[in-house]
Amino acid sequence: MTSSRVAHELASILVPIGIVGAVLAVLCAALAAVAIARGAAGLAGGAVGVWVPAAVLSLAASFASQWTPLIVSGAALVGMLVIGAVARSIVTAGEPARAQARAARLEEAEAAAATTATTSTTTVQTPRASTGSVGTGTASTGTVPALAS
């Protein structure tokens, strides 16, 4: 076989491998963006950790002079990391308002509990006499008698 024929045969194998690697890399980058936006650092690290071998798979297409899968996987990671960081900053920007609303609800609940506590302390409760008897028999667990007597 001539060298051009070998190169063509390798290209027919390596380019699809590179495309699959690029698709996996884009999926991992999207998962990393969602994880960053939610503040899940462990999941983001795991997604980027899986992105690395997927990007190496996309590098396989470069042996056939196809650089598009590698460029797409790299650009996807950079883009998704930026999108995740922007989304996280938007989420954390609204956090003080949510914290104030939570504090207001907590104060209302404490006020309601204090009102309930003051009304229950004014009610006179009479002690109840115990009618139960203390058993001196052997312990049993259903239908099977206990081992210790």
Position 145 confidence tier, pLDDT thresholds 50, 70, 90: low
For position 11, what pLDDT does the model report?
84
In whole angstroms, what is the distance from residue 73 CA to residue 51 CA? 9
Domain residue spans of the chain:
7-92
* Tally of CB atoms within 10 A around 73: 25
Q: Which range, of 30-34, 109-113, 135-139, averages the lowest pLDDT? A: 135-139
Cα 106–Cα 110–Cα 115 angle in degrees, nearest 5: 150
By the 8 A CB rule, do 44 and 95 touch? no
By the 8 A CB rule, do 82 and 29 touch? no
Q: What is the mean pLDDT of the chain?
A: 83
Position 4 confidence tier, pLDDT thresholds 50, 70, 90: confident
What does the pLDDT average to over 144-148?
Answer: 62
In whole angstroms, what is the distance from residue 17 CA to residue 105 CA? 55
The helix/strand count (H/E) of the chain reads as: 4, 2
**Which has the higher per-residue pLDDT, 58 or 10?**
58
Q: Per the confidence metrics, is the pTM higher than 0.85?
A: no
For 65-98, what is each residue's pLDDT tens digit? Answer: 889 999 999 999 999 999 999 999 998 887 787 7
**Which has the higher per-residue pLDDT, 3 or 42?**
42
Q: How far is CA 101 from the centre of its chain?
A: 25
For position 108, what pLDDT does the model report?
86
pLDDT of 124 over the 80 cut: no
Continuous H helices in 59-133: 68-93, 95-122
